[in-house]
Amino acid sequence: MKKTKTESLCDVLGQMLDNSKTGTKMKENEAVNMWSDVVDPKIAARTERVTVYKGVLTVFSYSAAVKSEILARKSQIIKDINDKLGARVITDIFLR
């Protein structure tokens, strides 16, 4: 079957990444990189490490006050990250 519609390489690659595990992993990495943009700078400065695995954002911090603040804003943080990514990538936040 011959396709009559031509598509740009950028569009084809974008569709391929959207439907693959690689595209999901790229979005998860973007979520980690935007952590400091989404939360208050004081909170970002007191977090040790941020990782994502299977949609769960894990935040490492030794400060109980920071953990409490993140828990209080958990749903808003998830919403802000997903809005910036344009997809539902983060489903939960886990604190360690």
CATH of the domain at 84: 3.30.300
pLDDT of residue 25: 85
Q: In the structure encoding, which two tokens stand for residue 49, read together?
A: 């490490």
Structural domain contains residue 1:
no
pLDDT of residue 62: 95
Q: Describe the strand order of the beta sheet including 56-60 as a list of residue ranges.
A: 49-53, 56-60, 92-95
Structural domain contains residue 47:
yes
Distance from C-alpha of 69 to C-alpha of 57, rounded to nearest angstrom: 15
Q: Which domain holds residue 14?
A: 9-95
pLDDT, tens only, 78-91: 999 999 999 999 99
Structural domain contains residue 32:
yes
Number of domains comprising the chain = 1
Structural domain contains residue 17:
yes
pLDDT of residue 2: 62
pLDDT, tens only, 50-65: 999 999 999 999 999 9
